[in-house]
Structure 1
Amino acid sequence: MNWKQKIIDPDIVMKKIRPGMSIFLGTGVSEPRTLVKRLMSSNSRKLVDLELIQLVNFSDTISLKTLDSHKYRLKTFSSGNMVNKAITRGLVDLIPIRFKRLHRLFESGLIQVDVAFIQVSPPDDSGTASLGISIDVARAAMEQASFVVGEINPKIPRIFGDTFVNMSEFDMLIYSQDDPVYFERWETGPAFDRLASRIASLIQDKSCIAFSIGPLFESLSKKLVNKHHLGVHSPVFTDALMDLVKSGAVTNLYKNVSQGKSIASYAFGTPALMAWLDRNHLVEFQGIQTVFDPVNIGKNPGFVAVIPARKVDLSGRIVLHHGRGNVISGPMELMDSFLGAQISKGGRIIFGLPSRNLNNHSNIKPSIKRYHNQLGFEESIDMVVTEYGAAMLNGLSIRERAQAMIEIAHPDDRMALFNRAKKKNMLYPDQIFLKESSHLYPHEIHEQQTFKNGVKVRFRPIKPSDEEQMRRLFYRFSDEAIYYRYFYCITTMPHSKMQEYVNIDWNHTMSVVGLVGEPGEGILIAEARYLKGESDLMAEIAVIVDEKYNNLGIATYMVNLLLKLGKERGVEVFTATVLFSNYKIMKVFKKACPNLKSEREDGVYSITMPVGHADGGG
Structure 2
Amino acid sequence: MSVQSLYQQKRMPATDAIRVVKNGDTIVVPTAVGEPPALLTALSEARRDFRDVQISQILPVRKYGYLDPETAEHVRHSAYFFSGVTRPGGQAGWIDYIPAFFSELPALINRNLSPADVVFSLVSPMDEHGYFSLSLAPDYTMAAIAKARAVVLEVNPNVPFANGNCHIHISQVTALTESEDPILEVGLPKIGPVQEAIGKYVAEMIPDGATLQIGYGGIPDAVVMQLTHKHDLGIHTEMVGDGIMTLVEAGVITNRKKNYHPGKMLATFALGSKKLYQFMHRNPSLEMHPVDFTNDPFLAGQNDNLHAINATMQIDFIGQCGSESLGFAPYSGTGGQSDFVRAANRSNGGKAFIVLPSTAKNDTISRIVPTLSPGTHVTTSKNDINYVVTEYGVAQLRGKTAQQRCAALIGIAHPDFRSELRESAKRMNLL
Does TM, scored on the shorter chain, surpass 0.5?
Answer: yes
Aligned: 1:40 with 2:44 = yes
Distance in 2 between the 1:117 and 1:67 partners? Answer: 23
Counterpart contact for 1:350–1:384, Cα < 8 Å: yes
- For 1:568-589, what per-residue CA distance to the aligned partner results, in whole angstroms no more than 9, with x for missing partners? xxxxxxxxxxxxxxxxxxxxxx
Aligned runs of 1:167-186 on 2, under 5 Å? Answer: 167-176=170-179, 178-186=181-189
Aligned runs of 1:369-448 on 2, under 5 Å? Answer: 369-370=373-374, 372-375=376-379, 377-427=381-431
Give 2:301's aligned amino acid: G
Q: 1:44 to 1:189 in 2, by over 3 A?
A: closer
Aligned: 1:354 with 2:357 = yes
Aligned: 1:26 with 2:34 = no
Partner of 1:200: 203
Q: 1:213 to 1:101 in 2, by over 3 A?
A: closer
Aligned: 1:160 with 2:173 = no
**Deviating more after overlay: 235-244 vs 23-32:** 23-32
Distance in 2 between the 1:241 and 1:322 partners? Answer: 28
Give 2:80's aligned amino acid: F
Deviation at 1:237, TM superposition (A): 0.5
Distance in 2 between the 1:297 and 1:258 partners? Answer: 10
Partner of 1:132: 135
Q: 1:109 to 1:226 in 2, by over 3 A?
A: same
Deviation at 1:214, TM superposition (A): 1.1
Deviation at 1:260, TM superposition (A): 0.3
Counterpart contact for 2:153–2:173, Cα < 8 Å: yes
Match of 1:248 among 230, 248, 251: 251
Aligned: 1:147 with 2:150 = yes
Give 2:353's aligned amino acid: I
Instruction: Return 5+ residue gaps in structure 1 as ranges.
Output: 428-618
Partner of 2:348: 345
Aligned: 1:122 with 2:125 = yes
Counterpart contact for 2:186–2:271, Cα < 8 Å: yes
Q: 4+ runs of 1 displaced by more than 6 Å?
A: none
Normalising by structure 1, what TM-score? Answer: 0.64
Counterpart contact for 2:338–2:379, Cα < 8 Å: no
Distance in 2 between the 1:64 and 1:35 partners? Answer: 14
Partner of 2:233: 230
Deviation at 1:330, TM superposition (A): 4.0
Match of 2:295 among 286, 292, 295: 292
**Deviating more after overlay: 141-150 vs 263-272:** 141-150
Instruction: Return 5+ residue gaps in structure 2 as ranges.
Output: none
Partner of 1:113: 116
Distance in 2 between the 1:76 and 1:421 partners? Answer: 37
Counterpart contact for 1:308–1:321, Cα < 8 Å: no
- For 1:349-387, what per-residue CA distance to the aligned partner results, in whole angstroms no more than 9, with x for missing partners? 111112223512332223323363333521331211112
Normalising by structure 2, what TM-score? Answer: 0.90
Counterpart contact for 1:79–1:322, Cα < 8 Å: no
Distance in 1 between the 2:390 and 2:111 partners? Answer: 43
Bigger Cα Rg: 1
Deviation at 1:48, TM superposition (A): 1.7
Counterpart contact for 2:69–2:89, Cα < 8 Å: no
Counterpart contact for 2:158–2:180, Cα < 8 Å: no
Which secondary structure does the structure 1 equivalent of 2:153 belong to? strand
Deviation at 1:222, TM superposition (A): 1.4
Q: 1:99 to 1:242 in 2, by over 3 A?
A: same
Give 1:202's aligned amino acid: M
Give 2:322's aligned amino acid: V
Q: 1:186 to 1:66 in 2, by over 3 A?
A: same
Deviation at 1:284, TM superposition (A): 0.9
Partner of 1:265: 268
Counterpart contact for 2:160–2:282, Cα < 8 Å: yes
Q: 1:126 to 1:27 in 2, by over 3 A?
A: same
- For 1:213-258, what per-residue CA distance to the aligned partner results, in whole angstroms no more than 9, with x for missing partners? 1111221111112122211110100111111222222121222332
Distance in 2 between the 1:238 and 1:422 partners? Answer: 44
Which secondary structure does the structure 1 equivalent of 2:313 belong to? strand
**Deviating more after overlay: 410-419 vs 186-195:** 410-419
Partner of 2:222: 219
Match of 2:190 among 167, 187, 190: 187
Give 1:242's aligned amino acid: M
Distance in 2 between the 1:371 and 1:189 partners? Answer: 30
Which secondary structure does the structure 1 equivalent of 2:64 belong to? coil
- For 1:291-336, what per-residue CA distance to the aligned partner results, in whole angstroms no more than 9, with x for missing partners? 012221111111111111212233322221569xxxx954584332
Partner of 1:577: none
Distance in 2 between the 1:193 and 1:175 partners? Answer: 43
Aligned: 1:104 with 2:111 = no
Aligned: 1:10 with 2:14 = yes
Which secondary structure does the structure 2 equivalent of 1:117 belong to? strand
Q: 1:318 to 1:17 in 2, by over 3 A?
A: closer
Distance in 1 between the 2:182 and 2:78 partners? Answer: 24
Counterpart contact for 2:198–2:389, Cα < 8 Å: yes
Deviation at 1:174, TM superposition (A): 0.7
Partner of 2:372: 368
Distance in 2 between the 1:285 and 1:123 partners? Answer: 17
Partner of 1:77: 80
Partner of 1:552: none
CA RMSD of aligned residues (A): 2.4
- For 1:456-484, what per-residue CA distance to the aligned partner results, in whole angstroms no more than 9, with x for missing partners? xxxxxxxxxxxxxxxxxxxxxxxxxxxxx
Distance in 2 between the 1:44 and 1:73 partners? Answer: 11
- For 1:548-591, what per-residue CA distance to the aligned partner results, in whole angstroms no more than 9, with x for missing partners? xxxxxxxxxxxxxxxxxxxxxxxxxxxxxxxxxxxxxxxxxxxx
% same residue: 29
Q: 1:82 to 1:44 in 2, by over 3 A?
A: closer
Q: 1:403 to 1:113 in 2, by over 3 A?
A: closer
